[in-house]
Structures are given as structure tokens and as C-alpha cells.
Amino acid sequence: MNSKAYSSRNVNLIQVISFLKDRAGADLWVGVDVGKQQMQVVLNWAANDFERPWKVNNPSQVRLLVEHLKQLRTGRKLVVAMEPSGTYGDVLRQACTDAKIIVHRVSPKAAHDYAEVFDGVPSQHDGKDAAVVAELARLGKSVPWPLIEAPQSHQQIEYWVDRMDAQRRLLQMWCGRIEARMARHWPEMLGQLKTTSLTMLNALIEYAGPAELGADPEAAKKIRRWGRSRLSDEKIRRILDDARHSIGVRQTPVDQQRLRDYATEAMNAKLQIKQAQKHLLKLSRDIQPIQAMKPAIGNATACLLFTYLGDPSNYHCAAAYVKAMGLNLIERSSGMYQGKLKISKRGSSAVRYWMYLAALRLVKKTSPVRPWYLKKKHRDSDEAGRALVGIMRRLGLALWHVAVMGEAFDKKRLFPGKRNAGQKDRVSFAAQKGA
């Protein structure tokens, strides 16, 4: 290929009329590689008929680019194609949608896989990426992607989901710091309570360490009030005894201030999560997919899946929905992984985190899923990770059937076991391809 094929020109220097000679009525596909500060734009008229890339500053030259596209569109079909690049391409999407220019989306995976097919080398760079996107759009490997404003209720759900997950990440960070300091100054307490528990956080805000708690004659009453009915008298006695005889490193005033501040921040994050979940409960009452998934995974997780993945009915099968979660299996053959199956981890990590929490809830002692979980865990040398991923994958299949097919969620159908001879065959969650 010509070494100058990908050398770009600034969009300010472009004369649109120079591209229209002898191309009357010819369809045009425009590939855009979106960057934070700059875009590369390539025109594709037909197979092996490309123009050199245009360099467009983002967002200052977007209006000029759209004006050029409007001129090119006259008398022909014109499609602007781009990859989903976070929010950096939304300005161009909106401008094109407002100008009645067709916008399509090309899968980043498809663009990556097609790079070597395109010009014989696997390398990728901005100019080539734009050309690959245009080529895939011309070949029909793209889908419409106009910027459409979501209903107000959906926007509100998205806002509170974002707030809930952000506070969850903050809670996780602060609790990690609390645990590190507790291991140093009050290690016995970690064996009694979780760092996320209200009793633990209230105790740290009130006392900031074992010495003050052990010296307070009213400590038992306070702990009982914080723990309510979840703490037995025996456990309260052990907490007090551990505080009075802790072997942790003695705290300085700075150490106490640090733990108190960490606990205060964690408590605030925990309260913000609860507030967000209350709002989501009200906002999602009339949204059918969320209500359908709610009995299986809870309202908050259902809202998060709806926000990140959209309506499950937009997916043609259950396996496609699981794939969007990043829970489909792919073969990894690099480094220490040779031919092993791993989940793809595509899409948002928040989806997999909340699905992981849902899987943990399904393996409680009274759950019919627990026997399968224990057997799988035992086969994997008491490693729980694979068993939980297996439950997440089956749960993803079940959610599609619940939301799209209208089936009632039944934990027993996740792992139904072997059928008896002569039993009538019926579709179940576990029988879906890719389970």
C-alpha cells in the first residue's frame, strides 16, 4: 500500500468540490476514529477507493466537519460510522443527528480483527482505524447509532445508578484502608465484624480504637443499639474483652484521627448508597424489564443492568445477553494461560461486580443453588471463583428468559440436575447453549 495513504490533512484545507468529480450519485461511507482531542476521518467510495484522512480537532472543528458532510451528502447516500469511544464521540453524533446525517456504530472487536485483513499488517493507528471503520460500514458490518435522548425516567435511573456505583467504589476504598489500619491497631475486631458493618463503623467513629471502647462503661449498651438484634450478648462480650486486652500497636492521636475519619467517610458512602437505592426503587416501578429481573437479583442490580446493557429484549438470545455482560468464555493462550477458558470481561466491570454480589446471595445456606456450588468448589480444590462465575453465567441466561420470555424466576432451574429417563424434554435455563 502507498506509504502516504494514511498521511492526514487538516479539515480546514479541504475543498469538498474536489472530491465530487466523476462521483455523481455514488454512495459514500465516512469512517471516523474518535480521540479525546483529535479525530481522523476517511472517505470510502467503494472497494479500494479511499481518500486520505482528514484531521479534525475535537470539538472545535466538529461544526466545520458536519458542513463538509452535508455538502458531500447532496444527491447520494452518506453514512458516518464510528466506534463507541466513551463520550468523546457524542458531540459529533449529536451534530450529525441534528443535520439528518445517518450515523452508524462499528464494533471495536470487529475493527480490531479486520485490521490485518484490510491491508495485510496487524498494526493499528488512527488513520488506518478510520479507514477500517469505513470499510466495515460499507460491508454492512455496522448498526444505526443516532444520538437519541432517553426518556426522563430512564435518565433519572441512570443518574442514581451512576451515583450508587460511585459510592460503592468509595466505600470499598475506605473499608480497605480501615482494614489495613485495624490489622495494625485492633486485629481482634476483624475476626468479629466486617469493616462494612454499621456496628464497626459506629464504633470507630465513637471510639477510634480499642482503648477508649474498653474503658467506656456504657460501651455494651451502645454496641447493642448499633447492632440491634443481629449481635448476641456473647458476641458483644467478646468484642469488649478483645478491646480491653488487644495486642494491637498502641495508637497515637493521629492514628485515632485517621481511623475516625476513614470510618466517617465509609459511613457517608454507605448512607449515599442506601439513598440511591431508595430513589431507584421508586423510579423503576413502571419499567417492565427491571420489575421482571427484580425477584432474581434485587431492584438495585436490575436497574444497573438496565442502565449498562439496556432492555434484555434487544438481544436476540440469552447467550448474547451473557456475552454483553462479559461472561462468555474465550480461550486464552498467552503467558501462564495456555488454551484455558476465561471469561471475556468485555463491557462494564460494574455489571460483573453486581452480578458477583447476586451470585453470592444465591449460595446462602438455604438456597437450592448451594449444593451445586459446594460440589463445584470441592472439584476446584476449594477455590470458589470458578463456581461463582458459573452461577453468574447461569443467572445471566435466566435473567434474559425472565425479562423477555416472561418466565418466573426459580432458583432450582439454574442447576436442575439430570432428567429421569422418559421425562418430557423442556427448555430450561441450564440447557441454553453457552451455559
CA dihedral of 221, 226, 230, 236, whole degrees rounded to 10: -40
Q: How far apart are CA 371 and CA 179, in angstroms?
A: 32
| Cβ neighbours around 42 below 10 Å, total | 28
Q: What tens digit of pLDDT does each residue of 119-157 get?
A: 778 777 778 999 999 999 999 999 999 999 999 999 999
Phi, psi of 101 (to 5 degrees): -95, 135
Q: State the cell numbers at 290.
A: 427491571
Architecture of the domain defined by 9-144: 2-Layer Sandwich (3.30)
Nearest CA to 130 out of 63, 81, 73 is that of 81
Give yes or no for a contact between 248 and 210, defined as CB atoms under 8 angstroms apart. yes
Instruction: Please tell me what DSSP assigns to residue 249.
Output: P
Confidence of residue 278 (pLDDT cuts 50, 70, 90): very high
Q: What tens digit of pLDDT does each residue of 359-408 get?
A: 999 998 778 899 999 999 999 898 999 999 999 999 999 999 999 999 99
Phi, psi of 192 (to 5 degrees): -100, -40
**What pLDDT sits at residue 120?**
78
Confidence of residue 211 (pLDDT cuts 50, 70, 90): very high
**What pLDDT sits at residue 427?**
44
- Angle (CA) 420-425-426 rounded to 5° is 120
% of the chain residues with pLDDT over 90: 75
CA dihedral of 257, 259, 260, 265, whole degrees rounded to 10: 120
Alpha helices in 284-384 (DSSP H): 288-297, 299-309, 318-324, 349-362, 370-379
Q: What tens digit of pLDDT does each residue of 334-349 get?
A: 666 666 788 989 889 9
| pLDDT > 50? residue 434 | no
Percent composition of the chain: helix, strand, coil (DSSP 3-state, to 5): 55, 10, 35
CATH number for the region 153-282 comes to 1.10.287.4070
Point out the least confidently predicted range of 146-160, 293-307, 404-418. 404-418
| pLDDT > 90? residue 422 | no
Q: State the cell numbers at 328.
A: 462468555
For range 275-284, the mean pLDDT: 97
Domain boundaries, the chain: 9-144, 153-282, 286-431
For range 180-204, the mean pLDDT: 95
Strand (E) or helix (H) holding 105 = strand 102-105
Ordered DSSP codes for 270-285: HHHHHHHHHHHHHHTT
| pLDDT > 70? residue 323 | yes
Alpha helices in 151-297 (DSSP H): 152-185, 187-190, 198-207, 210-215, 219-227, 233-244, 253-283, 288-297
**What pLDDT sits at residue 249?**
96
Q: How far apart are CA 389 and CA 385, in angstroms?
A: 6
For range 325-340, the mean pLDDT: 76
Alpha helices in 61-125 (DSSP H): 62-73, 90-98, 108-119
Q: How many CA atoms lie within 13 A of 402 on its CB side?
A: 23
Give yes or no for a contact between 381 and 291, defined as CB atoms under 8 angstroms apart. no
Give yes or no for a contact between 115 and 130, defined as CB atoms under 8 angstroms apart. no
The pLDDT mean for the chain works out to 90
Give yes or no for a contact between 181 and 258, defined as CB atoms under 8 angstroms apart. yes
